[in-house]
Protein backbone atom coordinates (compact mmCIF):
# COMPACT_ATOMS: atom_id res chain seq x y z
CA UNK A 1 0.00 0.00 0.00
CA UNK A 2 2.70 2.42 -1.12
CA UNK A 3 1.89 6.12 -1.19
CA UNK A 4 3.48 7.51 -4.36
CA UNK A 5 3.65 11.15 -5.44
CA UNK A 6 3.15 11.86 -9.15
CA UNK A 7 3.87 15.23 -10.71
CA UNK A 8 2.71 16.74 -14.00
CA UNK A 9 4.35 19.88 -15.41
CA UNK A 10 2.56 22.30 -17.76
CA UNK A 11 3.62 25.69 -19.05
CA UNK A 12 1.69 28.87 -19.88
CA UNK A 13 2.36 32.53 -20.63
CA UNK A 14 0.63 35.50 -19.05
CA UNK A 15 0.93 39.22 -18.39
CA UNK A 16 0.48 40.77 -14.97
CA UNK A 17 1.50 43.64 -12.71
CA UNK A 18 1.68 43.93 -8.94
CA UNK A 19 -0.56 46.74 -7.79
CA UNK A 20 -2.65 47.07 -4.63
CA UNK A 21 -5.59 49.34 -5.52
CA UNK A 22 -6.19 50.12 -1.83
CA UNK A 23 -2.82 51.84 -1.62
CA UNK A 24 -1.40 54.98 -3.19
CA UNK A 25 0.53 54.96 -6.44
CA UNK A 26 3.61 56.04 -4.50
CA UNK A 27 3.27 53.10 -2.10
CA UNK A 28 2.85 50.71 -5.02
CA UNK A 29 5.90 52.07 -6.85
CA UNK A 30 8.06 51.91 -3.75
CA UNK A 31 6.81 48.46 -2.70
CA UNK A 32 6.77 46.67 -6.03
CA UNK A 33 9.36 48.60 -8.07
CA UNK A 34 9.44 47.54 -11.72
CA UNK A 35 6.86 44.79 -10.98
CA UNK A 36 4.39 47.72 -10.70
CA UNK A 37 5.02 48.94 -14.31
CA UNK A 38 1.77 50.51 -15.52
CA UNK A 39 1.44 48.60 -18.79
CA UNK A 40 2.15 45.15 -17.36
CA UNK A 41 5.01 42.76 -17.94
CA UNK A 42 4.82 38.97 -18.23
CA UNK A 43 6.23 35.54 -17.67
CA UNK A 44 6.48 32.01 -18.95
CA UNK A 45 5.02 30.21 -15.93
CA UNK A 46 5.70 26.56 -15.19
CA UNK A 47 3.03 24.82 -13.12
CA UNK A 48 3.84 21.55 -11.38
CA UNK A 49 0.93 19.73 -9.74
CA UNK A 50 1.62 16.78 -7.44
CA UNK A 51 -0.96 14.15 -6.51
CA UNK A 52 -0.31 11.47 -3.91
CA UNK A 53 -1.94 8.07 -3.54
CA UNK A 54 -1.67 4.34 -3.94
CA UNK A 55 -1.04 3.02 -7.46
CA UNK A 56 -3.99 1.07 -8.85
CA UNK A 57 -3.32 -2.68 -9.13
CA UNK A 58 -4.94 -2.63 -12.58
CA UNK A 59 -3.14 0.33 -14.15
CA UNK A 60 -0.12 1.01 -11.97
CA UNK A 61 -1.31 4.64 -11.93
CA UNK A 62 -2.03 6.91 -8.97
CA UNK A 63 -3.84 8.97 -11.58
CA UNK A 64 -3.45 8.78 -15.35
CA UNK A 65 -1.15 11.74 -16.03
CA UNK A 66 -3.02 12.40 -19.27
CA UNK A 67 -6.12 12.87 -17.13
CA UNK A 68 -4.26 15.10 -14.67
CA UNK A 69 -3.09 17.14 -17.67
CA UNK A 70 -6.73 17.50 -18.81
CA UNK A 71 -7.83 18.62 -15.35
CA UNK A 72 -4.98 21.14 -15.18
CA UNK A 73 -5.93 22.49 -18.60
CA UNK A 74 -9.66 22.67 -17.97
CA UNK A 75 -9.40 24.20 -14.50
CA UNK A 76 -6.30 26.39 -14.89
CA UNK A 77 -4.22 26.52 -18.08
CA UNK A 78 -6.99 27.19 -20.60
CA UNK A 79 -8.14 30.09 -18.41
CA UNK A 80 -4.79 31.74 -17.75
CA UNK A 81 -2.72 30.97 -20.86
CA UNK A 82 -2.05 34.06 -22.99
CA UNK A 83 -4.13 36.09 -20.53
CA UNK A 84 -3.68 39.17 -18.38
CA UNK A 85 -3.83 37.93 -14.78
CA UNK A 86 -5.08 41.30 -13.51
CA UNK A 87 -7.88 41.72 -16.04
CA UNK A 88 -8.92 38.45 -17.66
CA UNK A 89 -9.08 35.66 -15.06
CA UNK A 90 -12.33 35.19 -13.10
CA UNK A 91 -10.73 33.01 -10.42
CA UNK A 92 -8.21 35.80 -9.68
CA UNK A 93 -10.88 38.49 -9.37
CA UNK A 94 -9.91 40.66 -6.39
CA UNK A 95 -6.64 38.77 -5.89
CA UNK A 96 -3.34 40.57 -6.36
CA UNK A 97 -1.44 38.19 -8.66
CA UNK A 98 1.73 37.68 -6.65
CA UNK A 99 3.13 34.21 -7.30
CA UNK A 100 2.11 33.25 -3.74
CA UNK A 101 -1.52 34.29 -4.16
CA UNK A 102 -1.66 32.79 -7.64
CA UNK A 103 -0.47 29.39 -6.37
CA UNK A 104 -3.06 29.37 -3.60
CA UNK A 105 -5.79 30.27 -6.12
CA UNK A 106 -4.65 27.45 -8.42
CA UNK A 107 -4.88 25.02 -5.49
CA UNK A 108 -8.46 26.15 -4.90
CA UNK A 109 -9.25 25.67 -8.59
CA UNK A 110 -7.92 22.10 -8.51
CA UNK A 111 -9.06 20.88 -5.08
CA UNK A 112 -12.06 18.60 -5.33
CA UNK A 113 -11.45 18.04 -9.06
CA UNK A 114 -8.64 15.46 -8.83
CA UNK A 115 -10.11 12.11 -9.88
CA UNK A 116 -7.45 9.81 -8.40
CA UNK A 117 -5.29 10.22 -5.32
CA UNK A 118 -5.39 13.56 -3.52
CA UNK A 119 -3.86 16.93 -4.32
CA UNK A 120 -0.52 17.27 -2.52
CA UNK A 121 1.31 20.28 -3.95
CA UNK A 122 1.03 23.17 -6.39
CA UNK A 123 4.39 24.55 -7.44
CA UNK A 124 4.56 27.65 -9.63
CA UNK A 125 7.84 28.73 -11.20
CA UNK A 126 7.73 32.35 -12.33
CA UNK A 127 11.31 32.93 -13.45
CA UNK A 128 14.60 31.05 -13.58
CA UNK A 129 15.21 32.24 -10.01
CA UNK A 130 11.79 32.62 -8.33
CA UNK A 131 9.25 29.93 -7.44
CA UNK A 132 6.62 29.16 -4.81
CA UNK A 133 4.93 26.03 -3.50
CA UNK A 134 1.62 25.60 -1.72
CA UNK A 135 0.59 22.32 -0.06
CA UNK A 136 -2.89 23.23 1.15
CA UNK A 137 -2.03 24.09 4.72
Least Cβ distance, residue 14 to a second copy (angstroms):
6
Kindly name the residue from 30, 41, 54, 82 that is annotated as catalytic: 82
Q: 101-135 burial, b if ≥16 CB within 10 A, otherwise e?
A: bbbbbbbebbeeebebbebbbbbbbbeeeeebebe
Q: Which is nearer to a second copy, 44 or 113 (CB)?
A: 44
Is residue 47 within 8 A of residue 78, CB to CB? The reply is no
35 part of the active site: yes
Taking the CB of residue 71, how many other CB atoms lie within 10 A of it? 19
Cβ-contact 36, 17 below 8 angstroms: yes
The yes-or-no answer on residue 41 being catalytic is: no
Find the shortest distance in angstroms from Cβ 22 to a second copy: 8
Q: CA 44 to CA 63: how far, in whole Å?
A: 26
Nearer to a second copy, 98 or 119 (CB): 98
> With left for phi above 0 and alpha for psi between -120 and 50, is residue 69 left, alpha or beta?
alpha
Nearer to a second copy, 14 or 75 (CB): 14
> Which residues lie near a second copy (CB under 8 A)?
2-11, 13-16, 18, 20, 23, 31-35, 37, 39-44, 55, 58-62, 64-66, 69, 81-84, 87-88, 95-101, 103-104, 127-135, 137
**Which one, 75 or 80, has the nearer CB to a second copy?**
80
Active-site residues: which are they? Answer: 35, 82, 126
Amino acid sequence: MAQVRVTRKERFNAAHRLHNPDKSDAWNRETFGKCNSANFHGHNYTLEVTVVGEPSPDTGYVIDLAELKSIMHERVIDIVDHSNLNLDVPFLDGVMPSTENFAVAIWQQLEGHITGGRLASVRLIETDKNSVEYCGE
